[in-house]
Amino acid sequence: MSDNIDTTDTEVSLINLAYARSGDKGDHANIGVIARKPEYLPYIRDSLTPKRVAKYFFHVVKGEVERWDVPGIDALNFLLRNSLGGGGMASLNIDPQGKAYAQQLLDIMIPVPYKIAEETKK
């Protein structure tokens, strides 16, 4: 856990903290994660490491996962290399363009303080 954020007390689904959108770039998928509030981004960033996202998508990712900050919009962008079975027309996957990857990622649990967990229930 980063030193610059509060100690965490509980967990909430990413969907409580962020919006997400995904799509394809050839055989690679990208997932954009946008914090619902700027103060949620440190918790999201701290928890959603490339290693954790790669582990979460182990069933489809054959390459590495990279992450970039998207300044100004409180967002992160992930690139899941070689995750679409060839991509587009070449893929036999149920989701050859990775359109459902964002929805899958929104189920991941993110550690947060109770105060934020309660705030997201409103």
Q: Can you spell out the DSSP letters for 11-43? A: EEEGGGTEEEEEEEETTEEEEEEEESSGGGHHH
Contacts with 34 (C-beta within 8 Å, 6 or more apart), sequence order: 18, 19, 20, 70, 73, 74, 75
Residue 4 lies in a domain: no
**Structural domains of the chain, count:** 1
Range in 14-23, 34-43, 65-74, 87-96 the model is least confident about: 87-96
Residue 3 lies in a domain: no
Q: What domain range includes position 105?
A: 10-120
Residue 48 lies in a domain: yes
Residue 25 lies in a domain: yes
Q: If pLDDT is split at 50, 70 and 90, which confidence band does 89 have?
A: low
What's the pLDDT tens digit per position in 11-24?
999 999 999 999 87
Residue 5 lies in a domain: no
